[in-house]
Amino acid sequence: MLIDKTNTSLNKTLLFLVVYIFFMIPNSFGKKNIEIKVGILLGFTGAVESLTPSMADSAELAFNEVVNNKDKFNEITFKVIRADTTCNNIKLAKNAAKKIIDDGASAIIGAACPNMTIDIAKELSIPEKILMISPADTSNELIELEDNGFIFRTTPPKIRGSQILADITKDRGIRKLAISYSGDKDYKNFAEFYRNTLDKNNIKTTIMLPHNKNTNDYSKHISTLSAAGGDALAVISDLNLGGDQIIKSILGTGMFETFILNESMIEQNLIDDLKKKDLKKSFGYVQGLSNLGSEKFINLAQKSGIDPSSPYTGESYDAAAIIILSNFAKIFSNYNSINKAIYSVANKPGVKIYPGEINKAIRILRDGKSINYEGATNVEFDKFGDTFGSFVEVDLKKGKLKSKKLR
């Protein structure tokens, strides 16, 4: 009997290759093993440095869920890169964003401070097709930005907050008030929309006066407000734009005892700085925690040593979770763009997903089913990449913020 030695040799070679593929390279068979780099681009120094650690830690909390899961989600691994915008130097912020992108990041959580997100988006993120999700930029200008579907945010625009503040003002029984607002374009728009909504509710605005952050003397500004009078003074501003100085200068004078504050004015730092001067008659709103997801996020954050009441913590966690889930959805459902994947995981229909359930969501996506990520802040994106958000009415009493009502 003749033996075909050529075929025998070929068969042995093929057998060796099969064994090598299955036993020597097990992780490469059927798995993509993609590393996704994500930048956390926030103001670690500067005006909001007291808020940023909790925001960044909340975002990383979501990534840690995937790292520490029991299942092996080998399709994707994530690497987080932190970078500082300083929150007041746009050149340094752009350099920080460029370094993140040069280091290979395909997504950015940030920015947070006014105007930085839009400038970085225009010059870097949109041209480079880098996804950006801001957890804290409430600029109205972002609504109309031609972003090709790459810019999202988990916090609603300022104009939404002005409606909420007007509703709270009405419910508190205020009949007339004075408004002091920052000359910044966004705050001016906020103040105008707020006043117009008050007018519709028959609440009189005695004066609407802009203030300038570049001054150490607000006495003339305050005297003008006082002369106009009102049941309360609405301070539409930011702590680093002069709003805090106006309140500190008025407290104890008897000019105004009730202050109405937008979210950017409501920080524990302000209350601490006032020391014994109490803002007990003052109120406003903060964004965030108003659904089943809020309870889950609070528990999750507290177990990790994060203060869940710090502004934009829930929004930061949600931004990270959406980046994680949209990348898995892109692979499992073969989406050709990340923005389509984002809408598929964040909006209805699908199984509702809350904080602490990211791994559950990945398993659902892997099985070919849909999810609806509600998260900590009830995320639902509109066509502009904005979310309607969740709001909590708050009082400032006895040196603390007191939640009063969900809005």
Bridge partners of residue 393, in order along the sequence: 285, 405
Give the predicted TM-score (pTM) of the model: 0.73
In the numeric block, the tokens 């709001």 are attached to 391
Whether 297 has a pLDDT exceeding 60, the answer reads yes
> What letter represents residue 287's amino acid?
Q
Q: Which sequence spans correspond to the domains of the chain?
A: 34-157+291-373, 159-286+390-406
Helix, strand or coil, per DSSP, at residue 127 = helix
Helix, strand or coil, per DSSP, at residue 407 = coil
Cis peptide before 97 (omega within 30 of 0): no
Bridge partners of residue 372, in order along the sequence: 352
Distance CA 116, CA 316 (A): 17
Confidence band, pLDDT 50/70/90 cuts, at residue 100: very high
Token readout for 350 is: 């699908």
- Span 181-201, pLDDT tens digits: 998 888 898 999 999 999 999
Helix, strand or coil, per DSSP, at residue 383 = coil
Bridge partners of residue 352, in order along the sequence: 372
Say what the alpha-carbon torsion angle 312, 407, 289, 338 is, to the nearest 10 degrees: -70
**Of 94, 121, 107, nearest to 320 (Cα)?**
107
Distance CA 61, CA 58 (A): 5
Least confident of 80-94, 211-225, 293-307: 211-225
Question: Which pLDDT belongs to residue 241?
Answer: 85
Q: Number of C-alpha atoms within 13 angstroms, CB side, residue 284?
A: 25
Helix, strand or coil, per DSSP, at residue 79 = strand
CB 117 within 8 A of CB 110: yes
- The reply to whether 34-157+291-373 and 159-286+390-406 are identical in fold is yes
Helix axes 313-332, 292-303, angle to 10 degrees: 100
Q: What would the CATH number be for the domain defined by 159-286+390-406?
A: 3.40.50.2300
- Span 330-352, pLDDT tens digits: 999 989 888 889 999 999 999 99
Whether 96 has a pLDDT exceeding 50, the answer reads yes
Whether 17 has a pLDDT exceeding 60, the answer reads no
Token readout for 353 is: 């997903």
CB 374 within 8 A of CB 367: no
Helix, strand or coil, per DSSP, at residue 131 = strand
87-114 as b/e: b if 16+ CB within 10 A: bebbebbbebbeebbeeebbbbbbbbbb
Query: What is the CATH topology of the domain spanning 34-157+291-373?
Result: Rossmann fold (3.40.50)
Q: Residue 248, Cβ neighbours under 10 Å: how many? A: 14
